[in-house]
Amino acid sequence: MKIHNFLAFDLGAESGRAIIGSIKTERLTITEIHRFPNRIICSHGHYQWDLERLFGEIKTGIKKCVREYKCNPQSLGIDTWGVDFGLLDDNGALIGNPYVYRDPQTRGMVNRFSRQISRKKLYRLTGTQFHEINSLYQVAAIKRRTPSWFGKVRHLLFMPDLFNYLLTGIRTSEYTIASTSQLMDARRKKWAPSVFRALGVNRSIMPGIINPGRIIGRLKKEIAEELRVPMIPVVAVAGHDTASAVAAVPAQSKNWAFISCGTWSLMGVETIRPIINRKALIYNFTNEGGIGGRIRFLKNIAGLWLLRECRRSWSREKRVTYEMIDRWAAAAEPLQSFLDPDRPEFLMPDDMALTVRNFYRRTGQKIMRTHGAIARSILESLAFKYRWTLNQLTEIVGNRIQTIHIVGGGSRNRLLCQFTANATGLPVVSGPVEATAVGNILAQAMAAGLINSLAQARAVVRRSFPLETFDPIDRDQWLEKYQIFLAIAGK
């Protein structure tokens, strides 16, 4: 039986990886062949991505795949985080490094842009949640701060599209990544002309939108020669990492919710059509594209970013690993103090651990001082935020959710999975950990004609990866403490 090999690049805000996916008899095995950090550059008071270094790591991954691992993949695909983009000039050259979505330039832009288009009208058109990190507000901020840039801009490419362009020379905009931007008409799946008019930006800078699971082109000849590899086909996978991750959710029943958990937690349900109504607007849910024409109706929640940044604060004195944090958190006293992980002060603080302690102090709670106590408090608070989101989600969609699937790096955190079951009162199924890379590979398999549907892709996931179910415990205690969390989150 022939083995079909694919090369997936999954780039996150913290790190990136290259993974070979091998499909044989409808089972998938994955092998990580290259991992690299993704570091933020601070330039003139602004945060940017080091695009040249990231592209160099992608080329290294391709070279390793072919030359070290002796694998000639049928294709390769790239997914990244959402909303960020690069701007190109007349010659197709990059105009500066892409800004990081956490850059402070967008502060206040949501309210400022609302003077151009009302929130109600903008939501009715785009179906996108209001968040200052969105591409729309980044474009508005750049144009306001450096208007000379947009005199030179001829093309805007979101991060996975930008890497695809650097590899193939072909400019496209993949649907799932485009849908995170707040620049797209959610129902028509086309760019929204009125949004571009309000921005004062020519819509012609945006390439045509294509669906995932389509071959874009092949590696440019000069890149193939540089790396001494074949001119490998490049596939437009679900370029938004969450879209790829949700494609790998191993669900079988209808009434399930997902949490794609990493730096961010993306929690929602899968639908056939966008849900754009008054309640969705009030609760600030978003409609994002998925594979197979599906819609991911979800809310962004600050995820393990808080824990990651606390680790960075603690590691200034001595090295602290996630394994150490997990042990300390498991041993800490439960349900003591809480925080709202989505408060603005947690977005980009200089010292996350200090910011968390200051939050306890300001809200009149017991101040958690040990690393384990703080970590446990963050995980418990995330679980309560999932319950809060679940309640809103259920109210909007009208269906009773019966199971929660946690995929991505957060599914490895058994404490968070158990806390989520406890807080929501629902069984939680964790895995696969590398859901984003798995979804990326499955989209390439669809492009190759090996997989014909999303249901078939999910069946492959169930056959290929171990899953673990967490049932709720101590429900009464968690319900009681949830009321305290609600009071704290409201302060």
Which residues are part of the catalytic machinery?
241
5 close to 20: Cβ distance less than 8 angstroms = yes
Task: Name the DSSP class of 334.
Answer: S
126 close to 195: Cβ distance less than 8 angstroms = yes
d(CA 199, CA 193): 10
**DSSP result, 284-311:** T-EEEE-GGG-EEEEEEEE-THHHHHHH
**DSSP result, 354-407:** HHHHHHHHHTTPPPP-SHHHHHHHHHHHHHHHHHHHHHHHHHHH-PPP-EEEEE
435 close to 412: Cβ distance less than 8 angstroms = no
Q: Which of 189, 255, 282 is nearest to 397 (CA)?
A: 255
441 close to 28: Cβ distance less than 8 angstroms = yes
What does the CA dihedral 272, 277, 280, 285 come to, rounded to 10 degrees? 50
Determine the distance from the C-alpha atom of residue 408 to the mean position of all C-alpha atoms in its chain, rounded to a whole number. 10
Token pair listed for 384: 């309560």
